C-alpha cells in the first residue's frame, strides 16, 4: 500500500496564479502537495516570476514554470487556485485563465481554491448551481453567480473544493489531498443546504489572523488555523452542552 504521505505520486498539479497571490495560500498547499509526491507547476499569465503578498505587504517571488499559453488541462491531474485580493481579480479578467479553468471542469478534474480564489470560478460562469465557500466578504459575489454559499471551513461539491481562507488552512490541505487522490470528502465538507446569510460582523478569529498576517511565518499561520479550529470546536461543544442541559431540565 502506498504511504499516506505519498498518495499523489505520479500526479501533476497545476497552480494557476499571478502577481498578488496570498503567500501562504500558495506555499503551504504546494509544500503539502510535493510532500504527498505530486509534481507541481506554477502556471501564470507571464514568464519569469510572480510576486506574492502577505495581506497588503510584498512577499516572496515564485518562479513561473509555464505560461497560460503553454499549459493544457489535459496535461494535469488537478488544479489549485490560490487567493489573495489581487491574484484572482487579475485572473478573472483573463479569458485564457477562465478557459483554462473551464477545461479542467469539463474534464471533471479536481479544482481546489480558497479565500478570494472562487472569484475566478464565478467569472467562468460555472458556479451556478454549485455549493461552495469563500472569504466571507465575497459571499454575495458567489450567491449572485448562482452558487449556494456555505459558511464553513471547507465545501466539497463534486470535483470542486473550496475554503474560506488561511484560517482554515489545516482542513483545506487535508481535504485537498483527499480530493486529488480521489478519496471521499469528510462529512463536514459535504453539508448541503440553502446559502448561509451574510455575517453581521467579521469573526474574531478572522480579524486576528488578518492583523498578524503581514508579519506571520507559515508556522504562525498554521498555528492561527489550529487555534481558530479549536475556538470553533469549543464553541460548538459549548452550544451542544447547553442544548443537552436545557433538554434535561
Q: Could you list the active site residues?
A: 115-116
Pairing mode of beta strands 66-67, 49-54? unpaired
Helices and strands in the chain: count of H runs, count of E runs: 8, 12
Segment holding 219, helix H or strand E: helix 218-248
Q: Is 8 helix (H, G, I), strand (E, B) or coil?
A: coil
Cβ proximity of 130 and 148 under 8 Å: yes
Cα distance between residue 101 and residue 147, in whole Å? 17
CA dihedral (167, 53, 34, 95) in degrees, to 10, reads: 100
Amino acid at each position: 500500500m502506498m504511504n499516506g504521505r505519498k498518495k499523489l505520486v505520479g500526479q501533476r498539479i497545476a497552480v494557476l496564479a499571478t502577481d498578488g497571490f496570498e503567500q501562504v495560500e500558495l506555499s503551504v498547499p504546494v509544500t503539502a502537495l510535493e510532500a504527498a509526491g505530486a509534481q507541481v507547476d506554477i502556471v501564470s499569465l507571464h514568464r519569469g516570476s510572480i510576486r506574492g503578498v502577505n495581506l497588503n505587504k510584498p512577499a516572496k517571488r515564485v518562479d513561473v514554470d509555464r505560461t497560460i499559453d503553454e499549459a493544457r488541462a489535459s496535461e494535469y491531474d488537478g488544479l489549485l487556485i490560490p487567493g489573495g485580493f489581487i491574484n484572482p481579480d487579475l485572473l478573472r479578467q483573463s479569458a485564457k485563465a477562465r478557459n483554462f479553468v473551464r477545461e479542467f471542469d469539463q474534464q471533471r478534474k479536481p479544482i481546489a481554491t480558497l479565500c478570494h480564489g472562487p472569484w475566478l470560478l464565478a467569472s467562468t460562469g460555472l458556479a451556478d448551481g454549485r455549493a461552495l465557500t469563500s472569504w466571507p466578504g465575497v459571499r454575495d459575489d458567489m450567491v449572485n453567480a448562482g452558487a449556494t454559499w456555505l459558511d464553513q471551513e471547507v465545501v466539497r461539491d463534486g470535483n470542486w473544493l473550496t475554503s474560506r481562507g488561511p484560517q482554515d488552512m489545516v482542513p483545506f490541505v487535508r481535504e485537498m489531498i483527499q480530493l486529488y487522490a480521489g478519496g471521499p470528502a469528510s462529512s463536514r465538507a459535504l453539508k448541503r443546504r440553502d446559502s448561509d446569510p451574510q455575517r453581521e460582523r467579521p469573526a474574531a478569529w478572522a480579524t486576528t489572523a488578518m492583523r498578524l498576517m503581514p508579519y506571520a511565518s507559515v508556522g504562525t499561520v498554521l498555528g492561527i488555523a489550529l487555534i481558530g479550529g479549536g475556538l470553533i470546536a469549543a464553541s460548538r461543544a459549548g452550544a451542544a452542552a447547553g442544548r443537552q442541559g436545557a433538554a434535561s431540565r
